[in-house]
Structure 1
Amino acid sequence: MKSNPTTPPTRHKEVIRLRERTLKNGNKSLYLDIYWKGVREYEFLNLYTCPASNTLERQRNRETMLLAEQIKAHRLLDLQADKHHIRKSQRQQSFIKYFELKTRQRYNSLGNYGNWKSTYQHLLGFCKHKDVSFLEVDETFLNNFKRYLLEEARASSNKRLAQNSAHSYFNKVKAALREAHEEKIIPENVATRVRGIRAGETKREFLSWEEVERIAKEPCDLPLLKTAFLFSVLTGLRWGDIIKMTWAEIRGSEAEGWFIRFQQRKTKSFEVLPITPEARDLLGPAGKMEEQIFGRLIYSAHTSLLIGKWMLRAGIHRKITFYCARHTHATLLLSQGVDIYVISKLLGHKMIKTTEIYTKVTNMKKVEAIGKMPKLELPALS
C-alpha cells in the first residue's frame, strides 16, 4: 500500500531529553526531561557545566556532557525493557557499576570526587575485582567490608587506613545504598541496620596570626597559590569556591565596603560574604566580569608540596594543607571573641554543630575561660 505523499511522516516524540537550566552564577545544571506513559518527570543529575575560559574547563564540560548522555541512554534502556516486559529484577543489577556511576557523577566536586573514587578502589579490592549485585549487598557484606576497611585495607603509603578514612569510605557506601533506595532500585536500605565506623578525633591544624604574618612575607614558588591561600585565610572560602570565583562575584567599593555574592559549590546555597579591604587588595586590578580569578590553579599533590615548601621557608614545620587556611580563618575569629553563630554564617555552615568543631582547636579560648573563674580565698597553710 502506497503512502499518501501529502501526509507528513510520523514524528516520534523523544521519550527522554537532556536539558540544561542556567543558574545565577552562569553555570548550567543538567537534567533529564522524561515523558513516559502520559507522565512527565524530571531527574536532576547533579552535573554542572560552567562558562569555559580555558582548555581544562572545556575538557571538563565535554566529560560532564558525555556522562550525562550515558545516564540518559541508561534510563532509556530501563524504560524500553519495561515496555517489552523484559526488565530483570532491579536488585540483580551490579552494585559495583552503580557505585562507579555515582562516583563519576561527582566529578566536578573535587574533594568529594576523590573520596568516592578511593572508596570505589577499596570496594574493588574487597570484592577481588568481581562483580557484586544489589542482592548480595546485605548486612553480612557490609559488616565484612567494614572489617576490611579497619583491618586489611591499605592507603597509598601501604599503611593501614586512618580511622577517619575508614569512616569516610564506609559512609560513601551507605550513601550510595540510600540513593539506590530513593531511586527504587532496592526495596529496603539494608545500610540502616548496620552501624557505621566511629570517626576519630580530628586534629585540625591552623596558623596563628603571627604565623600568617610570617608566610605573607615569604615567597611561594607559585605566587597565585600564595594569593589564594591568604585570600582563604582572610575570607574563610573553600578551595572549590575560590577557584571558580569570577570578577562578577566581587561587589562593592572602597567607600561602601566589599563583599562576594556567590553560590557555594558544596551546598549549592547562595551566599553574600563581606570581605575586608585587605582581602580585596590581594586580588589586584579587576579583570573581565566572566574571568575566573584563580582559574589557572589546579589542586594536586604538587600543590600540597608547594605549600609545604612555602611553610618551611617561614619556619613552620607542621603539615599545612590548603584547607588549613579556612581553619585559620575560623580560629582567628574565635580568638577575637566573635560569636560562634556569626562564624557559622560566615563559613556558610548549615548546622552550628559543624562550626563547633573549631572550638576544640584554639587553646587561647580555653586559657581565657579558665582565667574567668572567680578567685577562691584559701586560708594560709600552717
Structure 2
Amino acid sequence: KMVTIRERNLKDGRISLMLDVYVQGERDCKSLKIYLLPDKGNATIKAQNKEKRRKAEIIRIKKENELIDISYGLPTLKNASLGFLTYFKTIKETKRGSLGNYNNWDSAYKILCLYYKDKDIKLINLTPQDLADIREYFLNTYKTKANKKLSQNASSSYFNKIRICLKQAFDDGITKSPIVNRIKAIKPGETKREFLIEEEIEIVRTTDCETPVIKSAFMFGVYTGRRFSDLLKLRWKDIKHSEDLGYFLDYQQEKTGAHEIHYIGTDAISFLDEDDDENARVFKGLKYSAWTNLKLREWMLKAGITKKITFHSARHTYATYLLTKGVEYAILSKMLGHKDLKTTQIYTKIIDSKRIEAAKVFDKKEIYKS
C-alpha cells in the first residue's frame, strides 16, 4: 500500500489515527485529527471508535487513489477545476463547532474575497508568489471599515488560516506541492494578557452585574480556569462530586477535543444556580457576542476596573493567581489542560513571583530602623 493508517498512543489515553504516505522512497506521516477513546467495555464508545476507523479508511482509500491518478498524470475533476475561494469556504464551514475560531476563518475568507474580487481562481494554479502577494495584502494593504491597517496579530491569524487551508489542499492531494513551506508566516505581535489581581477579584465578586449569567460564568472561569468555549457547552452532568475527590469537571475540551478531569473548589460551585436537569446547560443564555462583551465591560467599569478585561482574562487570572500562590508550572500546565509546558510558560512574562517578593522587601519597616 502507498497509504496506510497507523495509530499513535497519546499521553491522555486517546489513540490518534495517522495517515502514513510512502511515495518514491519518501514517507510522510500526518495526523488525521481523528481520535479513538478507550472504550473500557462501553458499547457507545466502541461503536463511535468503529465509525471513526471507517472514516479513516475512506480517507486512506481516497488519498491512495489520488496519488495513483497523479503518478499516471491523470488529474481528477477536483484537481482541474476546484476554486481556491470555494475550497477555503468548505474548510471554513468545518470550524463552526467553535464560534470564536469560525469568526476568524470567516473574516479571513471575506478579506480573501475582496483581494480576488470574488474571482474563484483554480486552486492548482496557485504559486508561491501568489501566496506572498496575499501575505503582503493582509499585512500592509487591506484597510478596515475605519480605514486602518489590520493589527499585527489579526494579520498573523488570518494569514495563518490561508496557510492551514493550502496545507490541507496538499494533504488532500488537490495541489502537487506544499507552497506554504516556501512563504513565511506573519509573526504575531506581543500580546498584553490582562488579568485581575487578588484584590480586584474580591471587588468584582461583590459587584452586581446587570446580566447575572455573565457574572456567574466569568467568576466560575476565574475559579476554574476554563475557556469560554467550554463554559458555553458545560452541562450539569459534567459537574461531579465524590467524598474523596470533592468537586470536579468531567468533560471534553471544546478546543482540543481531549477528555478532561479538572478538580475545582467549593468556591467555584457557589457561583452556580442548581438545575434538576443534568443535560441542561450550566450557563443558560450565555452567548458569544459583542453584546456579551459589552455587558462584561460595563460590569468591570462599575467595579472600578479600567483594564480591558475579556472572558479569556478569567483564565489568565486563574493562572496568574495560582502562580503567585506557589503552584509549579508543571502542575499549572495540567490544570490548564495544556499539552505543552511551553504554552504555560507564557505566564512568566505576565507575572514573576520572585520580582513581586523582591519589591515587597521595602514594605518591611525594619529596614528603616537604625
TM-score (norm 1): 0.74
- For the pair shown, the structure with the greater C-alpha radius of gyration is 1
The alignment partner of 1:42 has SS state of: helix
1:42 equivalent in structure 2: 58
The amino acid that maps onto 1:302 is W
The amino acid that maps onto 1:41 is E
Is 1:177 aligned to 2:172, yes or no? no
Match of 1:120 among 109, 124, 129: 109
The alignment partner of 1:320 has SS state of: coil
Distance in 2 separating the partners of 1:169 and 1:355: 24
1:228 equivalent in structure 2: 217
2:325 equivalent in structure 1: 336
CA contact (8 A) 2:213 2:284 kept: no
Q: Cα distance 1:89–1:227, how it changes in 2: closer, same or farther (>3 A)?
A: closer
1:109 equivalent in structure 2: 98
Q: Cα distance 1:246–1:178, how it changes in 2: closer, same or farther (>3 A)?
A: same
Q: Cα distance 1:365–1:137, how it changes in 2: closer, same or farther (>3 A)?
A: farther
1:353 equivalent in structure 2: 342
Q: CA deviation at 1:340?
A: 0.6
Q: How far does the alpha carbon of each residue in 1:85-131 deviate from its partner, in whole angstroms, 9 at most, with x for none?
A: 99436054101100001111111111111111111011111112211
Match of 1:280 among 258, 269, 284: 269
- Aligned pairs for 1:30-179 (under 5 A) are 41-43=57-59, 87-88=76-77, 90-179=79-168
CA RMSD in angstroms, aligned pairs only: 3.0
**What runs of 5+ residues in structure 1 fail to find an aligned partner?**
1-20, 35-39, 45-77, 79-84, 373-382
- Aligned pairs for 1:303-382 (under 5 A) are 303-362=292-351, 364-368=353-357
CA contact (8 A) 2:88 2:165 kept: yes
The alignment partner of 2:57 has SS state of: strand
The alignment partner of 1:282 has SS state of: coil
Q: CA deviation at 1:295?
A: 3.8
Distance in 1 separating the partners of 2:44 and 2:350: 37
Q: CA deviation at 1:29?
A: 12
Q: CA deviation at 1:187?
A: 1.8
The alignment partner of 1:273 has SS state of: strand
Q: Cα distance 1:131–1:301, how it changes in 2: closer, same or farther (>3 A)?
A: same
Q: CA deviation at 1:275?
A: 0.1
The amino acid that maps onto 2:112 is L
Q: CA deviation at 1:286?
A: 4.2
The amino acid that maps onto 2:57 is E
Q: How far does the alpha carbon of each residue in 1:147-175 deviate from its partner, in whole angstroms, 9 at most, with x for none?
A: 11111223454321110110111111110
The alignment partner of 2:248 has SS state of: strand
1:246 equivalent in structure 2: 235
CA contact (8 A) 1:334 1:359 kept: no
Distance in 1 separating the partners of 2:350 and 2:93: 35
1:215 equivalent in structure 2: 204
- Aligned pairs for 1:1-20 (under 5 A) are none
Q: CA deviation at 1:290?
A: 1.3
Q: How far does the alpha carbon of each residue in 1:351-370 deviate from its partner, in whole angstroms, 9 at most, with x for none?
A: 11111111111255433368
The alignment partner of 1:262 has SS state of: strand
Match of 2:282 among 282, 288, 293: 293
Distance in 2 separating the partners of 1:156 and 1:23: 49
Worse-matched range after superposition: 256-265 or 88-97: 88-97
Share of identical aligned residues, percent? 38
Aligned pairs, how many?
309
The amino acid that maps onto 1:96 is L
1:263 equivalent in structure 2: 252
Q: How far does the alpha carbon of each residue in 1:201-247 deviate from its partner, in whole angstroms, 9 at most, with x for none?
A: 11111111111111111111110110000000000000111111111
Distance in 2 separating the partners of 1:137 and 1:332: 48
The amino acid that maps onto 1:276 is G
Distance in 2 separating the partners of 1:185 and 1:256: 51
Distance in 2 separating the partners of 1:23 and 1:180: 33
Worse-matched range after superposition: 282-291 or 191-200: 282-291
The amino acid that maps onto 1:309 is E
